Structure formats: C-alpha cells, structure tokens
C-alpha cells in the first residue's frame, strides 16, 4: 500500500511538472496595467475579507464559544483560505483581470474544466456523506476537519469561479445588445 502511494505521488508529481513546464515555456500572455491594478484591489479585498472573517469568528468564539459549536483550527484555516480565494477570483473575474489580455476564448475551456472539477468534488462529498456517520464530526462542541470536507470546499471554490465567469459572460452579452 505504501509503495503504491509513493508511485502514485511520483506519477502525479511528474505529470504536474511536465504540464507546468509546458505552460511556462509556451505562455505568451501578459497582464496590462489596468488588470494589474484590479488584481491588486482584488488582493486587498481578499485579505480584508479574511481578516474580517477571522475577527468576527474570534468575537464569536470569545462570546459564545463555551455555549455554541466552534470550529477546529484546521477547519478555520481551510474556511479562511477558501474565502480569500473566492473573493480574489470573483473580483478578478468580474472585472476581467483574471485572465491574460486577449485570452477569453481560450479561457472558457478552463472554466468549463473548473465547473467539471467542482461537480466532481461536490459529487464525491455527497457520496462520501453516507460514510460521515462513522466519523465524529463534532467532538466536544468543536467541528473537526474530516476528509469529505476538503472535497466540499474545493468544489465550492472551483464552482464559484466557474459560476462568476459564466454569469459575467451572460451579463456582457446582454450589455452588448
């Protein structure tokens, strides 16, 4: 079993390295100044959203933590990271600063792939939800991080990216007419 996991890791790592090298070698895109400025704003809003979320959760934990359910540290970290990624990508996609200049035709396939990955991960979460009975999710009033939650958060993150992209495309078509 351990040998299989090592071989699987090496195969996945090799494939990712090959695709990364190919993407780096043939990537001719660039961001213009407007996109760079908007990506900076998206980064600022993303950081602000994460800080506000952590501040609100800290106040919730201080005031109601002894009486209500809390999150484990790993669950809180994963939720915060996903929130930051969703805010950054949503703002960037909506303001057309997520993709390189003049790559909108090529990028629609990427967002179809994101939608497929989202459905795949959410489907895995739903199928794994029946096994959640064997896990103890809430231990001493703390929601613990368990395996199916990672699929849920990845599915929500990729799904929000694809959803914002396709909604922006529909809005652009209606504005052109």
CB 121 within 8 A of CB 151: yes
Q: Which tokens in the block code for residue 171?
A: 């809005």
Q: To 10 degrees, the CA torsion angle through 122, 171, 50, 31?
A: 110
- Determine how many CB atoms are found less than 10 A away from the CB of residue 138: 11
Asked if pLDDT for residue 74 goes beyond 60, the answer is yes
What is the structure's pLDDT at 153?
A: 87
- Work out the percent of the chain whose per-residue pLDDT is above 70: 82
* Mean predicted confidence (pLDDT) in 150-170: 88
Q: Do the beta carbons of residue 101 and residue 35 sit within 8 Å?
A: yes
The pLDDT confidence band at residue 154, using thresholds 50, 70 and 90, is: confident
- Average pLDDT estimate for 75-81: 90
Task: Assign 43 a pLDDT band (cuts: 50, 70, 90).
Answer: very high
pLDDT at position 108, please?
Answer: 72
Question: What tokens were used for 130?
Answer: 């029946």
Distance CA 70, CA 139 (A): 10
Structural domain boundaries in the chain: 37-171
- Residue pLDDT, tens place only, 98-119: 776 566 555 677 778 888 888 8
Least confident range from 25-34, 85-94, 150-159, 161-170: namely: 25-34
**How many residues in the chain?**
177
Strand ranges across the sheet with 142-143: 70-71, 142-143, 138-139
More confident residue, 37 or 5: 37
Output 82 or 109, whichever has higher pLDDT.
82
Strand partners, 138: 143
Per-residue pLDDT tens for 121-145?
888 888 777 666 666 777 777 777 7
Q: Give the pLDDT band (50/70/90) at residue 44.
A: very high
Which residue reads 């009975």 in tokens?
133
DSSP state, residue 100: P
Q: Where are the alpha helices (DSSP H) in the chain?
A: 2-26, 33-64, 73-94, 104-129, 147-176
């Amino acid at each position: 079993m351990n040998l299989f996991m090592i071989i699987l890791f090496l195969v996945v790592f090799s494939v990712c390295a090959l695709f990364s090298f190919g993407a780096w070698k043939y990537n001719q895109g660039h961001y213009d100044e407007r996109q760079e400025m908007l990506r900076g704003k998206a980064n600022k809003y993303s950081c602000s959203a994460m800080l506000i979320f952590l501040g609100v959760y800290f106040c919730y934990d201080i005031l109601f933590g002894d009486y209500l359910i809390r999150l484990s540290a790993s669950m809180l970290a994963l939720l915060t990271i996903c929130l930051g990624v969703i805010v950054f990508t949503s703002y960037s996609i909506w303001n057309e600063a997520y993709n390189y200049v003049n790559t909108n035709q090529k990028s629609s396939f990427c967002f179809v792939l994101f939608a497929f990955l989202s459905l795949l991960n959410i489907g895995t979460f739903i199928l794994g939800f029946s096994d959640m009975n064997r896990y103890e999710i809430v231990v001493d009033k703390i929601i613990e991080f368990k395996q199916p939650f990672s699929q849920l958060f990845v599915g929500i993150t990729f799904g929000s990216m694809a959803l914002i992209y396709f909604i922006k495309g529909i809005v652009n078509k209606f504005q052109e007419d």
